[in-house]
């Protein structure tokens, strides 16, 4: 006779097998989805129905990426405080990650800070709490800042994407493009003296480069937008989630942290 397992044992087995998230009630056949959306992926975004009567979460229509970007730019530009920007992001339907995420993870910290840190996207703990960098990577980031005498409460921290990609996968170019107007506006409204780009995705996105993090870190660069105000000095650092897996790379990051500390002391002397 087959051995019977109770629910706790089955859950434990799921957890050990790496199944730790329930995303949808029904399984999704990705082969079918891929066939219908694949060639449209480059220039359009599947929009998920928010019609509560249907209770369905399958993509119902495709809108063009340029329309999504236009609506995101319009919404971001109209926001003239961080609060209204957060509301505009909550109301934005152009990024499908919103449907699988539990919470919008907006930035937090003081305005006009010396430092603004921008990571990639929320992880599981950030998604649960609705706050950036509160999981293991966030705790390491906090210790890294402390090592150069910076308190977390004195810096503004946010991410390129405000919604967690399922299973922490790397965000797609389409998802990043859809949310780009919001992070650009957030930088304008926060108006930091120095930007720290945390990890490869953040650095690539905001510096508009295809170079990997190993080539962008280790030097001062500039974040600048066409028609924008003055450029902001920017420094890319290795992502703390990566440092947790490859502690040997902490040495490089320590050099970057010291350079940031040095630059901060120079800017405060000018004031």
Interface positions with ligand URA (CB under 6 A): 119-123, 126, 132-133, 135, 137-138, 159, 199-201, 213, 238-239, 241-242
Smallest distance from the beta carbon of 131 to ligand URA, in angstroms?
A: 8
Count how many residues are written for the chain. Answer: 271
Q: Which is nearer to ligand URA, 113 or 135 (CB)?
A: 135
Helix (H, G, I), strand (E, B) or coil at 164: coil
Q: Is the dihedral of CA 64, 65, 70, 71 positive or negative?
A: positive
Residue 181 or 199 having the CB closest to ligand URA: 199
Q: Which is nearer to ligand URA, 10 or 255 (CB)?
A: 255
Q: How far is the CB of 130 from ligand URA (least distance, A)?
A: 11
In the bound state with ligand URA, the residue whose beta carbon lies nearer, of 94 and 132, is 132
Distance between CA 134 and CA 86 in Å, rounded?
A: 19
By beta-carbon proximity to ligand URA, the closer residue of 65 and 176 is: 176
Identity of the residue, 92 or 133, whose beta carbon is nearer to ligand URA in the bound complex? 133
Q: Which phi-psi region, left, alpha or beta, contains residue 108 (left: φ > 0; alpha: ψ -120 to 50)?
A: beta
161: phi > 0 → left, psi -120 to 50 → alpha, else beta; which? beta
Measured in degrees and rounded to the nearest 5, phi and psi for residue 117 equal -105, 135
What's the DSSP call for residue 131? Answer: -
Q: What are the Cα distances from residue 188, in Å, to 51, 76, 81, 161?
A: 34, 11, 10, 16
Q: Taking the complex as a whole, how short is the minimal distance between the CB of residue 113 and ligand URA, in angstroms?
A: 17
d(CA 16, CA 34): 29
Distances (CA, A) of 234 to 58, 183, 208, 219, 264: 40, 15, 13, 9, 12
Question: Of all residues in this chain, which one has the CB nearest to ligand URA in the complex?
Answer: 200
For the bound state, the minimum distance from the C-beta of residue 160 to ligand URA, rounded and expressed in Å, comes to 8
Give least dist CB 158 to ligand URA, A: 8
Closest approach of ligand URA to the CB of residue 244, in Å: 10
């Amino acid at each position: 006779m087959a051995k019977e397992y109770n629910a706790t044992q089955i859950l434990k087995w799921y957890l050990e097998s790496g199944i730790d998230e329930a995303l949808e009630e029904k399984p999704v056949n990705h082969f079918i989805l891929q066939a219908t959306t694949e060639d449209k992926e480059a220039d359009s975004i599947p929009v998920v129905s928010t019609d509560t009567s249907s209770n369905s979460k399958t993509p119902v229509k495709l809108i063009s990426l340029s329309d999504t970007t236009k609506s995101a730019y319009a919404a971001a530009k109209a926001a003239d405080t961080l609060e209204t920007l957060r509301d505009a992001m909550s109301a934005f339907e152009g990024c499908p990650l919103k449907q699988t995420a539990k919470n919008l993870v907006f930035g937090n910290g003081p305005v006009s800070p010396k430092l603004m840190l921008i990571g990639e996207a929320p992880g599981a703990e950030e998604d649960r709490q609705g706050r950036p960098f509160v999981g293991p990577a966030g705790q390491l980031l906090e210790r890294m800042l402390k090592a150069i005498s910076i308190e977390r409460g004195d810096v503004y921290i946010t991410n390129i994407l405000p919604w967690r990609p399922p299973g922490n996968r790397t965000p797609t170019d389409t998802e990043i493009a859809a949310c780009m107007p919001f992070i650009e506006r957030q930088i304008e409204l926060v108006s930091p003296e120095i930007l720290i780009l945390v990890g490869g995705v953040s650095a690539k996105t905001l510096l508009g480069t295809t170079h990997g993090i190993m080539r962008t870190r280790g030097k001062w660069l500039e974040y600048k937008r066409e028609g924008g105000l003055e450029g902001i000095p920017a420094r890319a650092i290795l992502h703390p989630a990566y440092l947790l897996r490859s502690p040997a790379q902490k040495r490089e990051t320590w050099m970057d942290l010291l350079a940031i500390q040095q630059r901060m002391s120079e800017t405060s002397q000018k004031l």
